[in-house]
Amino acid sequence: MKTVFAHVDCNNFYASCEKLFRPDLRNTPIVVLSNNDGCVVARSKEAKALGIKMGVPVHQIKSEIRQYGIQLFSSNYTLYGDMSHRVMVTLEALAPRVDVYSIDEAFLDITGIDKAVSFADFGRQVKDTVYQNVGLPVCVGIAPTRTLAKLANYAAKKFAATKGVVDLTDPARQRRLLAIVPVEEVWGVGRKLSVKLQAMGITNALQLADTDLATLRKRFSVVLERTARELNGTACIAWDDAPSPKKQIMCSRSFGQPLQSLPDLEKAVAHYATRATEKLRGGQQFAGELIVFIRTNPFRTNVAQYSKSASVKLVNSTQDSRLIVQQALGQLRSIYRSGYDYAKAGVMLSELVDETGLQEDLFEPLGTENLGRAKSERLMAVMDEINRKSRATLCMARAAGPTAYVMRREHLSPAYTTDRAALPKVR
Ligand SMILES: [Mg+2]
């Protein structure tokens, strides 16, 4: 049977999470800010309509903020991580296999589901159920390959007439869409590669799909050849080789057997953190934030349920496995409770930057005065390793003690869903 994937992606995820708990801001433009309230990392649709660009430093939009009453939020990953779980748990109840791709995206394997319901109806069901259960809007793209499903979702978001669901299983429809999608929107192509492709006259996705495969392999890579095959409807990118998401890297899996003990979970989380960091280095990126989550199986009845996530901001963005594993284990220990059958754990790296983004952080004031020497030495070793491994221009170590995590987060919303003291108030 031919495979079919549904790609589910939350709309303006961070901004939608913030709005969900602030119905008073329903029609107000809002933006979510990065580490230290520096740059815009998410925009509500009203803010997008005002022309606020992704990644713009907040000081550059001061006049717009005043003029249009744009509301600012510091990124609140405790909230987003928890809302993400709720979305994923809902999706897991709807499809036999769910691959979580990033904090707000997942691929559902829905091969054969059309025997029971049309693909488009299934897509609408997913959209309605997530909205009903979690309160967040999503779009759904359905296609025989993950690359096409991503493009179907792009169309679902871009064209209002689709009402957020696009069934791209029909080959003629695939070609019509590919012809109007810029090549840089194709999964895994990105800006750098698209410049080279454009120089060859390949500007839209259809042209890439129609390029001779041997030429693509010779001039670029077997990876791009596979992408072209996927655009032609042949699923051939293995899940482990899927391109890294631009904004977060997620590594999470259900356990074959439920785990109970902390050491067992530590092993799993250390493994996921290592995997995630490998992907990070593979994409020449550095992470500024880390989230760990653990949960029991919500579909097992008559057992105690527990689900918790914790996040930590890394003052120095890093791509060092040791530092990230250490931080991940620290977060795990803070949320672990004994007496549960854990079914799943995961590690997510976010606030991803490349080397250019990294340099800015180096000039922030240091907070090392309270840190022990051993810790500082260890950090130096980490820094040395980063310098040896890559051409990173790091020149001083900063330890990761508690004081170092005090970030500027002036516009932080409450942890509505994970802290009893922060429950939203109904007036
Ligand atoms: Mg999204």
Q: What is the pLDDT of residues 259-318, one digit of tens each?
A: 999 999 999 999 899 888 888 887 778 898 898 989 898 778 888 989 888 888 887 788
The alpha carbon of 152 and the centre of ligand 1 are apart by a number of angstroms equal to 14
Lowest mean pLDDT among 38-42, 340-344, 406-410: 406-410
Name the pLDDT band for 254 (thresholds 50, 70, 90). confident
In what helix (H) or strand (E) does residue 10 lie, and over which residues does it extend? strand 5-10
Q: How far is the CA of 13 from the centre of ligand 1 (A)?
A: 5
The reported pLDDT for the residue numbered 281 is: 80
Residue 197 has pLDDT above 50, yes or no: yes
- SS3 of 153-182: the string is HHHHHHCHHHCCEEECCCHHHHHHHHCCCE
Whether 361 has a pLDDT exceeding 70, the answer reads no
The Å distance, Cα 369 to ligand 1 centre, comes to 40
Query: Span 5-14, mean pLDDT?
Result: 97
Instruction: Name the phi and psi angles at 76, rounded to 5.
Output: -125, 80
pLDDT band with cut points at 50, 70 and 90 for residue 370? very low
91-110 burial, b at 16+ Cβ within 10 Å, e below that, comes to bbebbeebbbbbbbbbbbbb
Q: How far is CA 160 from each of CA 54, 74, 275, 340, rounded to the nearest angstrom?
A: 21, 29, 38, 44
Measure 20 CA to ligand 1 centroid, in angstroms: 15
What domains can be seen in the chain, in order of their start residue? 5-11+79-241 (3.30.70.270), 249-422 (3.30.1490.100)
pLDDT category at 222 given cuts 50, 70, 90 is very high
Quote the pLDDT of residue 397.
Answer: 29
Give the pLDDT of residue 404. Answer: 29
Q: What is the pLDDT of residue 356?
A: 65
Q: How far is CA 318 from the centre of its chain?
A: 17
Return the percentage of the chain with pLDDT > 90, whole number: 56
- Total H helices, total E strands in the chain: 15, 12
Read off the pLDDT of residues 342-355 as tens digits, 9 standing for 90 and up. Answer: 998 999 898 888 77
Secondary structure element (H or E) that encloses residue 249, with its range: strand 249-259
413, 21 in Cβ contact below 8 A? yes
Higher-scoring residue by pLDDT: 68, 419? 68
Distance 8 CA to ligand 1 centre (A): 9
Q: How far apart are CA 12 and CA 164, in angstroms?
A: 13
CB 44 within 8 A of CB 16: yes
Arithmetic mean of pLDDT, 369-384: 44
- Average pLDDT for 361-375: 40
**Number of other CB atoms surrounding residue 416 within 10 Å:** 19
pLDDT for the residue numbered 157: 95
Q: What's at 152, amino acid-wise?
A: A
Average pLDDT over every residue of 220-235: 95
- Expressed in angstroms and rounded, the spacing between residue 14 Cα and the centre of ligand 1 is 8
Q: Which of 117-126, 152-161, 276-285, 352-361 has the lowest mean pLDDT?
A: 352-361
Q: How far apart are CA 82 and CA 90, in angstroms?
A: 13
Distance of CA 49 to the CA centre of its chain: 23
pLDDT at 358 over 70: no
Q: How confident is the model at residue 396 (pLDDT cuts 50, 70, 90)?
A: very low
Residue 407's nearest CA partner among 373, 367, 368, 380 is 367
Specify the higher pLDDT residue, 40 or 355: 40
Query: What's the CA gap between 75 and 71, in Å, rounded?
Result: 13
- Report CA 217 to chain centroid distance, whole Å: 29
What does the pLDDT read at residue 357?
60
pLDDT band of 23, cuts 50, 70, 90: very high
- What pLDDT is stored for residue 417 in this prediction? 80
Statement: residue 395 has pLDDT above 70: no
HEC per residue, 81-139: HHHHHHHHHHHHCCCCEEEEEECCEEEEECCCHHHCCCHHHHHHHHHHHHHHHHCCCEE
| Distance between Cα 104 and ligand 1 center (Å) | 5
Name the residue among 170, 174, 190 with its Cα closest to residue 182: 190
pTM score of the predicted model: 0.75
Q: Measure 100 CA to ligand 1 centroid, in angstroms.
A: 13
CB-proximal residues (5 Å) to ion ligand 1: 9-10, 13, 104
- The dihedral of CA 276, 277, 281, 285: what is its sign? positive
Mean pLDDT of 380-392: 51
User: Cα(153) to centroid of ligand 1, in Å?
Assistant: 10
- Average pLDDT, rounded, for the chain: 85
Mean pLDDT value across residues 75-95: 90
Q: How far is the CA of 10 from the centre of ligand 1 (A)?
A: 4
Ligand 1 centroid from CA 387, angstroms: 34
